[in-house]
Structure 1
């Protein structure tokens, strides 16, 4: 009989070939966050639409058949809602962009002097609506990229890959991320059951009659999760010397301050000489603090996810899109941020568009994921 593994040892038999088909969840999150970073560098609707198409194609080709993977549609609906709300605000509250093409004139509500600069109603211009459309589409693209990460990366496998110092915070994040997919699955199940019984599942009455069982199921799931976490020793820490705790706190705090100061230096012209060294030193101190902090949370790793060549390709493709879009924004800002005064039709820049297509690489270098039972 083999001896049990230590708390800091990686336990479990090697996974079968079919079980290793899934890419490391961290690679999917890096890929999607890099696509979101690229979306923040442009307001060109053609490039933003291309980013949305790339993420949608990869999700359609590679997401597993699990409840949490179906949350992509909810993020798309949320993005559409954000875009519509942005346009409604532009119509009702006006826009700071001056325009000459007046589409309609709404009744304007007079406001007191202390609300100067804010208006309700008034002239609605085409320039203001186009500016709001570009701005809202950028935020919508960022939300869709985050939804792609939720659909492609298993939250439980992502939690398993976190360092020990971030384990408790990671559990809270994973529970928050899995709430929406489970909620959507419960709503679909209850609506299907009501339709089979010939009852109404739409409108205010149907929403209220579906909402109470969904809330009850969420509370039961929370109690079961709390009991399971307590049974597995969640929140218990190992005894470490006081000197190690003080060193961990000092390294983490110093590292975070260094990262903030270094990032400020990199983004400003005055800090070009000290920004990058301070940023690297802060990252090194923060990583050292995380490594020491992991000694307080010893835990086993059952079937750890390997960071293989496919993970490097997935993360590298997203990083390539982000880096190339950042370079394009600095060299040709007019192509990535089309003007609205005067109104001009946006053009698709060729090499930034080719850079965005680099994000399609995960659809060809990976296989459809199979979640182990």
Structure 2
């Protein structure tokens, strides 16, 4: 499976989540992403970070509701739940309050808003758990190689840290030591930082051995043309995206976006001449990859279309406060995102993996803690 297909699928789900505040549809997006991850992720360390993104999403919802409770909200409401002591502020802070009346409408609005952001984070976590970052780096254009290496190293830092913490907690349990509390966290933190430093040194050595940063000679005219096309294309993409999102820019948004994409692709092709790289066994975008990426694009397109037809179903009202309902067509559109769970290749399971050579070597796999 091409790693870019997983990212296109996840971005399609993220676009669908960004078009609605209905908690039932957002929960359906999270359920679809979770089912596909459970069905098609591998046992690699970077594939175990999905649960961390889920916890981060729950934390985001809690923070959003807490801020709305303490700092108030511009949403009017008539159903008062409780009243907090209000802190008097000077005249120059007019419009800002700390404490005061807390209504059900403002809490529900904060919950909807936080759930949307949490769904976006979970979609990104699904892509991070399914797409191999090393293979994704190999698929980048030559002009983005240096930037891609930095991004991949940054993306793999959190999954590797989560895996290190899990291994160290397992080792402490096997030794009969506690895994919770401030003291245990302090004793686990030092080995985790030591492992991160060792990986950083190993990555730096491997990058230097592979000639990272080496570039070919390119004429000045080609460099200037590359800069003009790349920057102009990115500006066109930004302006076209804004035009598509704004109601008054729908006429010029799509042509400007297409022109910007074309200019950016030309600039990246010209910029790739300075990169002395070859690809060994490049990943091909086969039929399965097209189906996975197409399912995400279909979810995004159908949700945008449903938002133009039934906006009230995708954005339930909070003033007056009404219970959200699950609309049929948007729910079926999100269900299209389940296609990768059936068409993507099944990763090798632990049942088919070779058994360890000897049971006496199991103790050697337990990481040692720093003194």
| TM exceeding 0.5 | yes
Residue in structure 2 matched with residue 3 of structure 1 by the alignment: none
Q: Give CA-to-partner distance per residue, 1:165-195, whole Å, 9 cap, x none.
A: 1111111111111001100111111112222
Equivalent in 242, 253, 260 of residue 275 of structure 1: 253
Secondary structure of the 2:49 match is: helix
> Is 1:325–2:303 an aligned residue pair?
yes
Distance in 2 between residues matched to 1:275 and 1:36, nearest whole Å: 21
Deviations 1:250-281 (A, max 9, x none): 21122122223333333445444433323222
SS of aligned partner of 1:124: strand
Q: How many residues align?
A: 349
Q: 1:102 aligns with which of 80, 85, 88?
A: 80
Query: Hey, what's the Cα distance between the residues in 2 that align with 1:104 and 1:304?
Result: 61
User: For the residues of structure 1 that align with 2:10 and 2:166, how far apart are their CA atoms?
Assistant: 27
Contiguous gaps of at least 5 residues in structure 1: 1-22
Q: Distance in 2 between matches of 1:268 and 1:344?
A: 28
Structure 1 counterpart of 2:119, from 141, 148, 164: 141
Are 1:208 and 2:186 matched, yes or no?
A: yes
Paired residues of 2:214 and 2:276 also in contact (CA < 8 A): no
| Equivalent in the alignment of 1:199 | 177
Alignment of 1:40-189 (within 5 A): 40-189=18-167
Taking the aligned partners of 2:241 and 2:123, their CA distance within structure 1 comes to 24
Please give the per-residue CA displacement for 1:345-371, whole angstroms capped at 9, x wherever unaligned: 111111111001000011111122359
What SS does structure 2 have at the residue aligned with 1:122? Answer: strand
Alignment CA distance shift 1:114-1:62 (3 Å): same
Render the CA deviation track for 1:54-81: whole Å, top value 9, x for unaligned.
Answer: 0011000001111110000000000011
Q: 2:338 — aligned with what?
A: 360
Within a 5 Å distance, the mapping from 1:213-224 to structure 2 comes to 213-224=191-202
The answer on whether the counterparts of 2:57 and 2:118 sit within 8 Å (CA) in structure 1 is yes
TM-score using structure 1 length? 0.91
Aligned twin of 1:248 = 226
Partner of 2:327: 349
Q: Which deviates more from structure 2 when the two are superposed, residues 152-161 or residues 237-246?
A: 237-246
DSSP-derived class of the 2:51 partner: helix
Q: Measure the CA separation in 2 of the matches of 1:147 and 1:268.
A: 28
- Which of residues 271, 288, 291 in structure 1 aligns to 2:269? 291
